[in-house]
Structure 1
Amino acid sequence: MATVSRVVNHNHNVKPATEKKVMEVVKRLNYRPNDVARGLASKKTTTVGVIIPNVTNSYFAALARGIDDIAEMYQYNIILTNSDGDEQKEVKALNTLYSKQVDGIIFMGNELSAPVRDEFKAERIPVVLAGSVDPQNDFPNVNIDYRQAVSSQVNQLLDNGNQRVAFVAGKLTRSINQDFRIPGYQAALQAHQISFDEQLLFEAADYDEGYELCEQLLSHQATAAMVSNDEAAAGIMNGMNDRGVQVPEQFEVATSDNTKLTEMTRPTLSTITQPLYDVGAVAMRLLTKLMDNDEIEQKQVLLPFGMKQRGSTKGA
């Protein structure tokens, strides 16, 4: 048994002739190691659970790719679960992952709800947030500086002469918007000595909602929009064009995620650039350190962001 174990676990302390004999039998019997039994024996399943709000969203897909590549590098398997950003589904997904004895969790979500936070604390296995903020700083997380990023993009829209710039996000009450993006938006207004108007805050989570939002934007005399979601931004831009409002000459649109969609639209979308792949990769590397009980230098990792000016804003 010990010899077979060494061979199937790629321990090279076995004579080549013996290894060949073992592998011939393994092939003939179609034998595969039992990861469940192995996990029970070692108390480590080398499996990581990843909770993602929407597997079809390009933003989260890019993060997941970074996670998966680093997991493979460190010989961890990934169990990916889709939560639809629903609190109850997130709790259910967590319990399913816990029952599979995962060694760690990477959470990607629009909001870290109280029930999910309680589940994390109760189970006491390593958790890292990727592209998800934690104002209470309970859990390690990897993000960009959303406040500064939004402030920089809104500053450019204001520099272009816009006096009424709207801010559009999925849910304004979410922490990432309420605590980071909206303060960044307000800071840019203050720097240009423009009063904050709460009526210029709007909600749109996807293409259809962005498209339908155009009437409200125009009725509030907005001439530009800072949008937190690429799909919603594409909806706003197409909605404006279909209503005879030219982008960017009469209405400017800037977005936040720099997914492939921003290059597929016409005109192409100006955007904040985020190292999405790196956010996922760094989150997974951070999790491997926690699972190995290594000391980590910082719980909050902020990666650099950039700006990409394209056809949806003036001066691109």
Structure 2
Amino acid sequence: MKKITIKEIAEMAGVSKATVSRVLNDSKYVSPEIYSRVMKVIEETGYKPSFIARSLVNKKTKVVGLLIPDISNPFYSELVKGMVEVANKYDYNILLCNSFFNQKKEMDFLKLLWEKEVEGIIFMTHEITNKHRKFFEKYTRPTVTVNRKFWGFDIPNVDIDNFLAGYDATEYLVKQNHHRIAIVRAPLSDETAGVERYEGYKKALEDYGIDFDEKLVKEGNFKADTGYKAMEDLLELDSPPTAVFCVNDEMACGVINCVVEKGLKVPEDISVVGFDDIPLASMFIPSITTIRQPIYDMGALSMELMYKMIKGEKVESKTYVLPHKLVVRQSTMKNE
């Protein structure tokens, strides 16, 4: 079936292409008689206006690009929910790109978002590379990062104080009389979960006079199976930990599963603290003591900042730090 063009619509209605464009975009006044005539032809022909063509006329796509590493992680799902609801408020759409931690895919998506003329990009990645830096040196439209500082660039970031959050989680365990406290951190290429939360953990140990033990440090990739494997390794130590701090809740779930399957109990034998407070944390058995990030609010704020930048309003290029909270549940207890 031949696709009808705007030129043909104009000829059939006896008007100019500019008049048809005004009717489609509701951009300038058109008399009721001409409006009805054009709409009648559109309805009779089943004409569908091109989104790209309309966006070129308006100079606006009303689309924001969103690049995340793993939508299957409940943290990102909640974050996206906050962004989408704010985008809907302003009649904007979000083009979601999910890289599954594949750096080549991330770069392909960034190029795609540029080609699609999105009005801005909200960017999250587990590691900022030189390729990312080269891209954003050339990209001139609004950009916001979440949970990731982009050093040397004029880009606002929405986050919590990850160092302090790691400190608070560890300090809580110390005050519960734990002295053999392990950590399941993220790779050190991850500035927040791999470095800042880990540094907070080490600082808390130092402040309370507890010797740092490299054997109590394990690395995961945010998935439950890596938490499980980390706990297996920890239980094989001559002196296993009495508590474990995991830098996300999914790995905490894996740690707890491992402890239980090895015939031990949480929290009677080993206390476990997670991070994020995803919905599963409160429903897991035992429910997980965790650091609550205001995930929805972080997503909502990032989109609010994006909209302001698109509108040309001044936004300070700094980290917008939202408050975190330690939520105590059943997975921890005082060490006797």
What's the secondary structure of 1:295's corresponding residue?
Answer: coil
Q: Does 1:241 align with 2:260?
A: yes
On the 8 A contact 1:247/1:313 being kept in 2, the answer is yes
Q: CA RMSD in A?
A: 2.2
With over 3 angstroms needed to count, the CA separation of the structure-2 counterparts of 1:191 and 1:19, relative to structure 1, is: farther
What is the aligned partner in structure 2 of residue 279 from structure 1? 298
**Cα distance in structure 2, aligned partners of 1:145 and 1:86:** 27
With over 3 angstroms needed to count, the CA separation of the structure-2 counterparts of 1:262 and 1:294, relative to structure 1, is: same
With over 3 angstroms needed to count, the CA separation of the structure-2 counterparts of 1:138 and 1:180, relative to structure 1, is: farther
What's the secondary structure of 2:268's corresponding residue?
Answer: coil
What is the aligned partner in structure 1 of residue 322 from structure 2? 303
Q: Does 1:98 align with 2:114?
A: yes
**Range moving further from structure 2, 120-129 or 140-149:** 120-129
Q: Which amino acid aligns with 1:142?
A: V
What's the secondary structure of 2:66's corresponding residue?
Answer: strand
What is the aligned partner in structure 2 of residue 82 from structure 1? 98
Offset from partner CA, 1:97-121 (integer Å, 9 cap, x none): 1111111111121122221121111
**Cα distance in structure 2, aligned partners of 1:254 and 1:24:** 64
Figure out how many residues of one structure are paired with residues of the other and give that number: 315
What's the secondary structure of 2:71's corresponding residue?
Answer: coil
With over 3 angstroms needed to count, the CA separation of the structure-2 counterparts of 1:135 and 1:255, relative to structure 1, is: farther
**Range moving further from structure 2, 264-273 or 34-43:** 34-43
Q: Does 1:222 align with 2:247?
A: no
Q: Percent identity?
A: 37
Q: Does 1:263 align with 2:279?
A: no
With over 3 angstroms needed to count, the CA separation of the structure-2 counterparts of 1:193 and 1:97, relative to structure 1, is: same
**Cα distance in structure 2, aligned partners of 1:21 and 1:308:** 63
- 1:114-263 matches, cutoff 5 A: 114-136=130-152, 138-205=154-221, 206-218=223-235, 219=237, 220-263=239-282
With over 3 angstroms needed to count, the CA separation of the structure-2 counterparts of 1:115 and 1:298, relative to structure 1, is: closer
On the 8 A contact 1:83/1:90 being kept in 2, the answer is yes
Aligned-residue offset at 1:262? 0.8
**Cα distance in structure 1, aligned partners of 2:294 and 2:34:** 48
**Cα distance in structure 2, aligned partners of 1:199 and 1:187:** 17
On the 8 A contact 1:167/1:225 being kept in 2, the answer is yes
What is the aligned partner in structure 1 of residue 76 from structure 2? 60
With over 3 angstroms needed to count, the CA separation of the structure-2 counterparts of 1:307 and 1:259, relative to structure 1, is: same
On the 8 A contact 2:70/2:101 being kept in 1, the answer is yes
**Cα distance in structure 1, aligned partners of 2:162 and 2:208:** 19
On the 8 A contact 2:144/2:306 being kept in 1, the answer is yes
Q: Which amino acid aligns with 1:211?
A: Y
**Cα distance in structure 1, aligned partners of 2:180 and 2:198:** 15
**Range moving further from structure 2, 122-131 or 49-58:** 122-131
What's the secondary structure of 1:254's corresponding residue?
Answer: strand
On the 8 A contact 1:111/1:133 being kept in 2, the answer is no
**Cα distance in structure 2, aligned partners of 1:10 and 1:43:** 14
Aligned-residue offset at 1:11? 5.9
What is the aligned partner in structure 1 of residue 53 from structure 2? 37
- Contiguous gaps of at least 5 residues in structure 2: 1-16
With over 3 angstroms needed to count, the CA separation of the structure-2 counterparts of 1:136 and 1:203, relative to structure 1, is: farther
Tell me the TM-score normalized by structure 2.
Answer: 0.86
Aligned-residue offset at 1:12? 9.2
- Contiguous gaps of at least 5 residues in structure 1: none
Tell me the TM-score normalized by structure 1.
Answer: 0.91
1:289 is aligned, of 298, 308, 321, to 308
**Cα distance in structure 2, aligned partners of 1:154 and 1:131:** 20
What's the secondary structure of 2:65's corresponding residue?
Answer: strand
On the 8 A contact 1:87/1:116 being kept in 2, the answer is no
With over 3 angstroms needed to count, the CA separation of the structure-2 counterparts of 1:23 and 1:73, relative to structure 1, is: farther
